[in-house]
């Protein structure tokens, strides 16, 4: 990385950190539902898809 002021880097690092935390939470959800289900698969899969979509949008900086 070149020396100098980088205005994108802190924002990018923040987004990556938040996305990584969200991915860990999603993995934990999947694991816990595998061990002790709290919802039917037909409800779980859309939940996983929504969370993954939100994480992608967060990583892209949409919110």
Q: Is residue 2 part of a domain?
A: no
Q: Is residue 25 part of a domain?
A: no
Q: Per the structure, how many domains does the chain have? A: 1
Domain that holds residue 45: 9-15+39-63
State residue 33's pLDDT score. Answer: 96
Q: pLDDT digit string (tens) for 2-48?
A: 556 666 688 888 888 999 999 999 999 999 999 999 999 999 999 99
- Under the banding of pLDDT at 50, 70 and 90, the label for residue 61 is confident
State residue 59's pLDDT score. Answer: 87
Distances (CA, A) of 47 to 14, 37, 39, 53, 62: 24, 13, 10, 10, 20
pTM (two decimals): 0.76
Q: Is residue 29 part of a domain?
A: no
Give the three-class secondary structure for 51: helix
State residue 12's pLDDT score. Answer: 84
Q: Examine the pLDDT at 1 and tell me if it is beyond 70.
A: no
The string of DSSP codes covering 9-53 is HHHHHHHHHHHHHHHHHHHHHHHHHHHS-SS-HHHHHHHHHHHHH
Rounded Cα distance, 63 and 18, in Å: 11
């Amino acid at each position: 990385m070149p020396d100098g002021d980088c205005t994108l880097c802190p924002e990018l690092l923040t987004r990556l950190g938040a996305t990584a935390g969200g991915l860990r939470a999603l993995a934990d959800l999947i694991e816990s539902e595998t061990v002790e289900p709290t919802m039917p698969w037909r409800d779980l899969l859309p939940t996983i898809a929504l969370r993954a979509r939100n994480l992608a949008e967060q990583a892209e900086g949409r919110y």
